[in-house]
């Protein structure tokens, strides 16, 4: 059993927002993943990691995108702002995913949040005491932290870096467990 539990943002972390085609106002009809993301999700799932989608937006948009690519089964749970009632960085987004995965407060040390938005993903994870990883390959958002709360624990500049980082963090978690931490 793996130690690391992965929370993933969607827009401009997994899905390239510049490819979104919208219908009915804000509903995304379809969009494309960043190059290599499908392979990353496949690797994480096949390696036995628990993965949650923790994203701001409309449920119908996420249904459309992930069903279009036959990727909806790659997430154990989804915490979507439309159903949670708040957007990140609100802790309720992360707590909802934790509850759906039957995680407790003590499990936060195993959670890794990967997202592209310093103000939402990184601040939210940092406030919750969750390991934060900035997806630094998104060209549409600010990538330089303006304060300590926005400072990620790790940065990846290409989706292909995600599996190796997760494996390294998972190994560190296992080492700490073996030492009784």
* CB-based contacts of 171, cutoff 8 Å, min separation 6: none
Identify the pLDDT of residue 41: 96
* 135's tokens: 């997806």
* CB-based contacts of 88, cutoff 8 Å, min separation 6: 9, 54, 56, 81, 94, 115, 117, 120, 121, 123, 124
Please tell me the least confidently modeled range out of 22-26, 57-61, 167-171, 175-179.
22-26
Identify the pLDDT of residue 158: 97
Homologous superfamily assigned to 5-178: HAD superfamily/HAD-like (3.40.50.1000)
Q: Reply yes or no on whether the pLDDT at 117 is more than 90.
A: yes
Q: Please report, for the chain, the start and end positions of each structural domain, with discontinuous segments joined by +.
A: 5-178
Q: Reply yes or no on whether the pLDDT at 138 is more than 90.
A: no
Q: Reply yes or no on whether the pLDDT at 96 is more than 80.
A: yes
Identify the pLDDT of residue 8: 99
Q: What does the pLDDT look like over 141-155, one tens digit per residue? A: 899 999 999 999 999
d(CA 136, CA 133): 9
Q: What does the pLDDT look like over 39-54, one tens digit per residue? A: 999 999 999 999 999 9
| Average pLDDT value for the chain | 96
């Amino acid at each position: 059993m793996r130690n690391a539990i992965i929370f993933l943002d969607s827009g401009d972390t997994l899905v390239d927002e510049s490819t979104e085609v919208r219908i009915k106002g804000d509903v995304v009809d379809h969009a494309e993943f960043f190059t290599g993301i499908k392979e990353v999700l496949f690797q994480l799932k096949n390696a036995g990691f628990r993965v949650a989608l923790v994203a701001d937006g409309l449920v119908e948009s996420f249904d459309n995108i992930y069903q279009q690519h036959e990727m909806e089964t790659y997430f154990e749970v989804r915490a979507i702002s439309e159903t949670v009632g708040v957007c990140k960085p609100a802790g309720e987004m992360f707590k909802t995913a934790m509850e759906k995965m039957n995680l407790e407060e003590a499990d936060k040390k195993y959670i890794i949040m990967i997202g592209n938005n310093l103000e939402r993903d990184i601040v939210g994870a940092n406030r919750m005491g969750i390991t934060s990883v900035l997806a630094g390959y998104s060209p549409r958002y600010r990538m330089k932290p303006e304060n300590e709360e926005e400072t990620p624990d790790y940065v990846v500049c290409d989706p292909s870096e995600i599996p190796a980082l997760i494996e390294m963090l998972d190994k560190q978690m296992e080492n700490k467990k073996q030492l009784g931490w």
